[in-house]
Structure 1
């Protein structure tokens, strides 16, 4: 059949439209759609091929559409047929390309929160190693953690390894209570180090192992009850050099004052004696010399109440150990010992915990578990009252009392347990001087 040139072009245009329509129908059937950018590529491709076809037709007055035998691969195939075949192949190729692109696995980008968390962990670890402990190149450092603090231990290990190639990380079994001795192999290793850092669930501060390590020249930082959240927020973000300066300036206010009186609006009213020379001003986060010890996060001033001198009532209205109290806990004190505990579930917990500790002692020493072992107040402006006494007792404007072992501060109650309770907004007098009132400092 012979066709005029214009009629042939119309036929070819119709054929192109059918091809495009078939491709769109096929895409829909395969449950994907060709992206706009690929649709543009198809249009451009068809336009180019159509121009070539029209040029071919314009050069011929009339044409005969060839009959192509199935499987024919002769070299003299008409270029027009080849162009149409190219259109079909390229259109199918675009669909395959898009399908492959959809099926190709994509590498998940790290979540922004994960990056922020890792950076916070690394920053806090560097603060501990570089600022607090001032680790020197080549120093021996031991990091002691337990199964609850391995993530913190690993972050400290990574930071310490930048400064020293003598870093040892040990995961010991979780203890049962504060003041419990670590396993003997751990205690022996502690004595051989220049630096010891102990992020553990229960405190190692008041243990023979720490005392012996300090005696042998180690500098020690303990982190009882440390959590990942505490490690990256709150008190750990403070500038410990500024805290050290502020605590040092308090020395003049503490000198030659012997009588301490603590009161609060919730009912605290207790009086006791102290040796003014025994106020501890080194819990400032900077632990860079031999035989020093600190808690982290740091920032408190504390002392040993003179044994047998405390009388009155203490009302714990902030936190006890690792929990915010559900209702205030009243401790009745006579001659430096707790003789009665009242108030809420925390009171029942206190009676049970110290009762069990007393059973492990000789009968003549059992009442010593109720010794008021320590008094102190917080100096860290970034610390929060969150239900973990490690941070709560450092919060600026709080005060705390500890019950139990006081041998670390030079006392005689060697009972193997010490737990603290925090007062939220107390008032404190040293002799006739108001140190702070309702949680706000008066003297600076």
Structure 2
């Protein structure tokens, strides 16, 4: 087998625990190595006794609408849905404008999320972007048991915590409340319905309490913009007050990030979505990279999994109480982190 075939087999067997007869929907874009990875996932699914289907649409930004037929395929409730494209799979117009109510009684702004979190009838991942073939081959064949053990230890600390402080050599100094929040473990265990993650996997993340984040963040590694992730020309300094971005300073990348935020605000304003407009400046995520094979990259799916990094996201959160039309991940190198004054990371090294 090729390295790519081995990686795809690890995804379907070790991560998804694919069972014979399960339906797998793979959403991709034309051309590029993401299509090659999609084909490898299709082949691995078939070899393991699953029922794969590939759907191809033009690439989408997160704030652009998904093709109707692709949405219909998602609504058909496959056991597994994999988005593997050049960019995001897109947004759901019904979900954004009206909303789906899941069996959990909560409103969800797309069918993908509703079927996973609301109804717990599906499991799924996001993967892809340029360079994904190389990343798959390097980052998928890992010791999942060892990584899951470390992720559980970190998640347990975060689940018991009330407040986090993050600093970095680049100038970050920010404090956020996590009281009552639970950590999400992207630990490569998607063997049961209701679970979501990335390929490659390896991250612990949570949603800060809405309105309870203050300080300075200095992003000196990968930053997501409209349809791509970039390494900043200069570190991007973001000021946060009461959970919202109030200032963005730096070079060209800083200006581009601010433009994406404003675009998210304008799109929400045009749709009359006042809460989405406000939350385009909301700090929606704190994430910690945990994959031992991941490294610095302009592909966010690898970069945010890299050891010795923390990332924050501007926009939508994962606890469904701060909806937005954007979610812009931004990385910090060699961070230090305290949970309720207990230092659990020093210059990027976990101390658990």
Q: TM-score, normalised by structure 1?
A: 0.69
CA contact (8 A) 1:138 1:163 kept: no
Displacement after TM superposition at 1:224 (Å): 4.7
Q: CA deviation at 1:209?
A: 2.9
The alignment covers a number of residue pairs equal to: 321
Mapped to 2, the partners of 1:436 and 1:202 lie a distance apart of 32
Distance in structure 2 (CA, Å) of the matches to 1:165 and 1:255: 36
2: CA distance between counterparts of 1:119 and 1:182? Answer: 32
Residues 158 and 255 of structure 1: is their aligned pair in 2 closer, same or farther, counting only changes over 3 Å?
A: closer
Alpha-carbon separation, structure 2, partners of 1:224 and 1:258 = 35
The answer to whether 1:353 aligns with 2:255 is no
CA separation of 1:179 and 1:240: change in aligned 2, threshold 3 A: farther
| RMSD (Å), alpha carbons | 1.9
Q: CA deviation at 1:143?
A: 0.9
Contiguous gaps of at least 5 residues in structure 1: 1-117
For each residue in 1:91-126, what CA deviation from the matched residue of structure 2 results, as whole angstroms up to 9, or x when unmatched?
Answer: xxxxxxxxxxxxxxxxxxxxxxxxxxx711111111
Q: How big is the shift at 1:333? A: 0.6
1:225 to partner: Cα distance: 2.2
- Within 5 Å, give how 1:163-312 maps onto structure 2: 163-164=48-49, 166-175=51-60, 177-178=61-62, 180-191=64-75, 192-204=77-89, 208-214=110-116, 215-216=118-119, 217-225=121-129, 227-233=132-138, 235-281=139-185, 283-312=186-215
Could you tell me how far 1:205 is from its partner in structure 2? 9.2
* Residue matched to 1:98: none
CA distance in 2, matches of 1:416, 1:312: 24
Asked whether the equivalents of residues 254 and 276 of structure 1 are also in contact (C-alpha less than 8 Å), the reply is: no
Which structure has more relative contact order (CA 8 Å, sep 6+)? It is 2
- Secondary structure of 2:209's match? coil
Alignment check: 8 A CA contact 1:178 1:419 kept = no
Cα contact 1:310–1:334 (8 A) shared by 2: yes
Deviation (angstroms), 1:242: 2.1
Structure 1 Cα separation of the partners of residues 195 and 316 of structure 2: 19
> Where does structure 2 lack aligned partners over 5 or more consecutive residues?
92-108
Map 1:138-153 onto structure 2 (within 5 A).
Answer: 138-147=21-30, 148=32, 149-153=34-38
Q: Structure 1 residues 180, 297: CA separation in 2 closer, same or farther (over 3 Å shift)?
A: farther
Q: 1:367, CA displacement in angstroms? A: 3.0
Alignment partner, residue 9 of structure 2: 126
Q: Specify the alignment match of 2:307 in structure 1.
A: 396
**Pair member with larger Rg:** 1
- In the TM superposition, residue 375 of structure 1 has moved relative to its aligned partner by 0.5
Aligned-residue offset at 1:393: 1.2
Report what 2:324 is aligned to.
415
Superposed CA offset, 1:191-242 (max 9, x none): 3201111112223498613212313401101115252222222x33322232
Q: Of Structure 1 and Structure 2, which has the larger fraction of its residues in helix?
A: 1
CA distance in 2, matches of 1:199, 1:251: 27
Partner of 2:105: none
CA distance in 2, matches of 1:324, 1:236: 23
Secondary structure of the corresponding residue to residue 213 of structure 1: helix
SS of the residue 1:358 aligns to: helix
Name 2:104's counterpart in structure 1. none
Aligned counterparts of 1:205 and 1:397: Cα–Cα separation in 2:
30
TM-score normalised by L of structure 2: 0.86
Q: Hey, what does 1:382 align to over in structure 2?
A: 293
Q: 1:302 to 1:165 in 2, by over 3 A?
A: closer
Name whichever structure is richer in strand by fraction.
2
Output the CA distance in 2 between the equivalents of 1:252 and 1:128: 25
